[in-house]
Amino acid sequence: MKKKLAVFLCACSLAVTTLAGCSSPSSEKIGVGTPEPERKEIDHNEEMGSNLGLWGRAMGSVLLYLNDGSPYYFGGYMATEENKKSAGNILASSWEINNRKELLAQIQFLLKTGSRKNFYEEAKAMEQMSEKELKRAMKQLSGDLLIHYQMVQYNWETWQKKGLLAWDMCRISHLAQWGYIAGYVDGKEAQALIEPAAKKLKEKFTSWDEVQNNWLDGYCLFADIDREASHSDYTNRLAIYEKLKAEQSEGDLLYDDSLFTAEILPVSGVSWQELLKEAG
Nearest to 219 by CA among 18, 28, 6, 20: 28
Residues 6+ apart with CB under 8 A from 204: 162, 165
Residue 59 CB neighbours (<10 A): 28
pLDDT of residue 270: 97
Task: Choose among 209, 3, 208, 20: nearest CA to 114.
Answer: 20
Among left, alpha and beta (phi > 0; psi -120 to 50; other), residue 164 is left
Residues 57-99: tens digit of each pLDDT? 999 999 999 988 999 999 999 989 999 999 999 999 999 999 9
State the pLDDT at residue 193.
Answer: 98
The pLDDT assigned to 219 comes to: 97
Question: What pLDDT does 194 receive?
Answer: 98
* Of the candidates 112, 116, 165, 114, the residue with the CA atom closest to the CA atom of residue 273: 112
Low-confidence ranges of the chain (pLDDT < 50): 1-4, 6-27, 30-41
CA–CA dist 146, 230 (Å, integer): 18
For the range 207-212, what are the long-range contacts, defined as Cβ-Cβ under 8 Å and sequence gap of 24 or more? 207/257, 207/260, 208/58, 208/245, 208/255, 208/256, 208/257, 210/166, 211/58, 211/59, 211/166, 211/170, 212/62, 212/166, 212/241
Expressed in angstroms, the distance from the first to the final Cα of the chain is 40
Quote the pLDDT of residue 213: 98
Q: 172 near 103, Cβ under 8 Å?
A: no
The answer to whether the Cα torsion of 265, 269, 272, 273 is positive or negative is positive
**Looking at residue 158, what is its pLDDT?**
97
- Residue 256: half-sphere exposure toward Cβ, Cα within 13 Å: 19
pLDDT, residue 230, reads 82
